[in-house]
Amino acid sequence: MSKTDNTANQRSSANQQSSTLHPDVKNYVKLFFKENKLVAFLSMIVFIALSMIYTAISWILQIIFDYMSGKGDFSLTTILLLVTSFMLAISLIFALKRSAYPRFLEKAMNQYKESVIKKLLKKSYSDFSLANSGTYLSVLTNDCERIQEKYLKKIFDFVQDVLMLVSSLALMIYYSPLLTVIALVISVLPMACSILTANEIATREEQVSKSNESYTALTKDVLNGVSVIKSFKAEQEVIDRYKNQSMELEHTKNLREKTMTTVSALGTISSLGTQLGVMLVGAWMVNAHVGVITAGMVLAFTNLMNGVLQPISSLPQMLGEMKGAKKLISKMADYMSNAKEDSGEIIDDSIKNVVLRDVSYSYDADHKVLKNVSLSLQAGKSYAIVGPSGAGKSSLINLLMGYYKDYKGSVQLNNHELSNVSKSSLYDKTTLMQQSVFMFDASILDNITLFKPFPDAEVDRVIHLAGLNDLIAAKGKDYQCGENGSHLSGGEKQRIAIARSLLKKSEILLVDEATSALDNETSANVTQSILDLQGILRLVITHRLDANSLKQYDEILVMKSGELIERGSFEGLMNQKAYFYSLYTVSM
């Protein structure tokens, strides 16, 4: 099954859960408040106070307007004291908001992102490879931004709006129960419009997230594949594909914006009509002396209507946005659902041997890549694996790295079955060098140590053993390697990979055609550096059948069609004049 098919399957799984949230969503939501409760509480106090302030504004307006019309119960001095106290309270509340609210958001999102990346890195390599890395990139960037804006912030906005509605309604009832009933009857239209459009917002939000995911994946592929695109002159085809993906994304954003605008417009028009209607009824009640109501009360009442209508129109929309954001959390939880805590046996002693007995492995029923492989690898020795493309060489290396779980037969490291060994313990003992060495956009030193602290003497030792002395002398340890090591040559990157392995003190070094992209001289130098390593079991896939190098290996393993068909020293295999002999002769 291809990665594309697997990615589609994961998306299908996520789609099936769109109506039912993943059970881990609650645990992820709790992360926002983990060791963050005090700041969250202070932030909530701020938003509660702001809702009360909004109601108080209407009351103060009523007092001022009634004083202007000569019907007020308060003196000008009292009103001035009230206004001054009110302004001081607002200043203090906003000062607290400035301090607490951003801090809460910062810590909440940091904890959420940290948890996601931890879960992601706990996934096995095979599980991780099921989805395009652009999918994970979208989860960690676009979705996180939407979760902060449409879920975290909306929690506080929701509480503020609910309290504003309740307090405004309470003051309206205090002013005039009759006018309040009339206002609520008139408010039925905006309330109905808002409720009916809430689910549409959540649907649009989810559609944008899915389009963003595909767009991010394609963008990553385009940027990573520039050299291939140019060499095959496929610019126009890629541009067309990129254009179509961009159009799809922007179209879903357009639909989301239209929905939001429609909801907002309906709310605004309905609210304005309701306010004008209430003001007209209030004016009639003042002139007709219906109830004990003043012009100031009508003004305050009209203002309070905002405190009722705005939540009525926004709360369903807000709930829709929060529901959509929760679906993004659910989607992420679904992608991370197979991330498991590392468990298994620990290999405490030094590796003495790796023994394979009748090992077979199949990607699927029709594609067996390893067939009854049996061999014994001894500590400190070097082994070359040779064979044509598709022989199963890389599959054997990946098996020893623990990437495949459901192999048949037995793979034992010091009598520990590989499938029972914890990944952490396995990776303590093993390092994989591949053709493409991953490099961080950081210094040479950071790329050797991978940001871990090591004694200078130990770092200098591995630099010497890996043959990096000339590079360090010319550029220094703090030289910036560039994106994926773009400022370094292929040979320099491979030597840094060797230094990593030595610094890690791996007992097993697996090399998967690490020198295949290098020129002959650089390849020979890097290979010699690997052969010169002492006390490490080295298993090296090589496509360069160079006699000088091959003679130095303790044993050469010859593979064909997933089987180990020959093994022995260079001289012994040449004397047999069998499959290896023909491979070597053809390569000359």
- Can you tell me whether residue 584 is helix, strand or coil? helix
Question: Where do you find CATH 1.20.1560.10 in the chain?
Answer: 23-335
In 3-state terms, the chain is what percent helix, strand and coil (to 5)? Answer: 65, 10, 25
| Tokens matching residue 284 | 């009639």
CA distances from 4 to 132, 133, 134, 170, 405 (A): 8, 11, 12, 57, 21
Distance separating alpha carbons of residues 341 and 57, to the nearest angstrom: 54
Maximum Cα interatomic distance, the chain, rounded to a whole number of Å:
119
DSSP 467: T
Which residue's entry shows tokens 């810590």? 107
At 124 the pLDDT is 72
Name the pTM for this structure: 0.67
Domain 23-335: CATH class, spelled out: mainly alpha
Query: What is the pLDDT at residue 232?
Result: 63
Round to whole Å and give the CA distance between 21 and 333: 9
Nearest one of 320, 208, 212, 305 to 264, comparing CA atoms? 320
The SS3 of residue 408 is strand
pLDDT at 503: 84
Q: Which helix (H) or strand (E) holds 566?
A: strand 563-568
> What's the 3-state SS for 120-184?
HHHCCHHHHCCCCHHHHHHHHCHHHHHHHHHHHHHHHHHHHHHHHHHHHHHHHHHHCHHHHHHHH
229 vs 223: CA distance, rounded Å: 10
Pairwise CA distance, residues 179 & 297, whole Å: 11
The owner of tokens 């659910």 is: 330
pLDDT of residue 367: 80
From first CA to last CA, the distance across the chain in angstroms is: 37
* Phi, then psi, of 158 in degrees rounded to 5: -65, -50
540-586 pLDDT tens trace = 999 888 899 999 999 999 999 999 999 999 999 999 999 999 999 98
Q: CATH 3.40.50.300 in the chain: give the residue spans.
A: 353-587
Structure-token match 């002395």, residue found: 469
Instruction: Give residue 5's pLDDT.
Output: 46
pLDDT recorded at residue 194: 62
pLDDT of residue 84: 92
Averaged in consecutive runs of 10 residues, what is the pLDDT profile of the chain (588 residues)? Answer: 45 50 88 92 94 88 81 83 91 93 93 87 73 78 89 94 92 85 75 67 80 82 71 77 89 87 74 76 76 75 81 80 88 78 82 95 84 95 93 92 89 92 87 82 90 90 87 93 86 86 86 76 81 90 90 95 95 94 85
Walk across the sheet containing 416-417 and list its strands.
367-378, 353-364, 408-413, 416-417
Q: What CATH number belongs to 353-587?
A: 3.40.50.300
In the prediction, which pLDDT does 312 show? Answer: 77
Strand 430-434 and strand 353-364: the pairing is unpaired
Query: pLDDT value at position 109?
Result: 93
Q: What is each CA distance from 47 to 19, 97, 147, 154, 551, in whole angstroms?
A: 31, 8, 19, 11, 76
Tell me the β-bridge partners of 538.
382, 509
DSSP string, 478-495: T-B--GGGTTS-HHHHHH
Q: What is the per-residue pLDDT for 320?
A: 81
Helix or strand holding residue 21 (H, E): none
